[in-house]
Structure 1
Amino acid sequence: MTALAEPDERGSLDVDPSVLRKIVEYAADTAPATRHRTRRVAGLGVGESGPSARVTARTGDEIDVRLWLTLVYPGPVRAAAAQVRERIAADLLRMTGHRLHRFTVEIGALQSDRSASPETARVQ
């Protein structure tokens, strides 16, 4: 069996910011308190949109994240945002070794839980 070279001699791994963004969006999307927002054009539903993020690399393995999302209503907004942040930080560190430095959340909407009150069509 051959011995491994020292870590500095083995090279490095660079993770593209678009990969980091996808990890952040997926982690936010799978958090229990987040929801997809219904996209509308001229009052008609044209699909859904989930959380979206902007990732900025800092020095070393630290990154800044700005996240736009929709949360379930009613619910504790601060606790939900903290839970999303913890999930994102854990996934980033586990998958890529990157640490979350600055985390900004913009909550674009609060949406009722669909299982509690089913949506009815406005036009039939």
Structure 2
Amino acid sequence: MSQEDPGERGGLSIDPGVLRKVVEHSADGVPGTLRVPRKLAGLGLGEHGSSARITLSGNEIDVRLDLALCYPAPVRSTVDAVRVAVGDEVERITGYRVRVVDVTVSALLPETRARVE
């Protein structure tokens, strides 16, 4: 039996949808980012976190990320932390390198707390 390098036995392809989910999950884990209510025609449909679009170019990806931040979180430092977290996590999990993370802050919201009635 041959002791081949595992990388020599086949290829690996990661679906862009999986890369997008890794990006969103890592962005949502940064302190200061928020999940916001999802509504359609005034009906509550749960919550959603960040929303990402990715563009693949070989082993590199470009990310466009839309997210909500907690007010009064420092926007610049929170976005910088999101960029670092996304780049580190994507590379750690998938081996892809993140070239750029363009961030749009779509909302600044007070952190919600559980309400007791």
Q: Which band: TM-score by shorter chain?
A: 0.7 to 0.9
2:64 corresponding residue in structure 1: 66
- Uncovered stretches (5+) of structure 1, i.e. residues with no partner: none
1:83 corresponding residue in structure 2: 81
Cα offsets for 1:47-88 (capped at 9, x unmatched)? 322111011101x21001101100011011010011011111
1:55 corresponding residue in structure 2: 54
Q: Scaled by the length of structure 1, what TM-score is found?
A: 0.81
Distance (whole Å) between structure 2 residues aligned to residue 18 and residue 73 of structure 1:
30
1:35 corresponding residue in structure 2: 34
In the alignment of these two chains, the number of paired residues is 117
Classify 1:50/1:6 alpha carbon distance in 2 versus 1 (closer, same or farther; 3 Å).
closer
Distance apart, 1:12 and its partner CA: 1.9
Q: Secondary structure at the match of 1:83?
A: helix
Q: Percent identity?
A: 45
Query: More deviation in 35-44 or 64-73?
Result: 35-44
Classify 1:3/1:64 alpha carbon distance in 2 versus 1 (closer, same or farther; 3 Å).
same
1:111 corresponding residue in structure 2: 109
Q: Aligned-pair RMSD on alpha carbons?
A: 2.4
Q: Scaled by the length of structure 2, what TM-score is found?
A: 0.86
Distance apart, 1:29 and its partner CA: 1.2
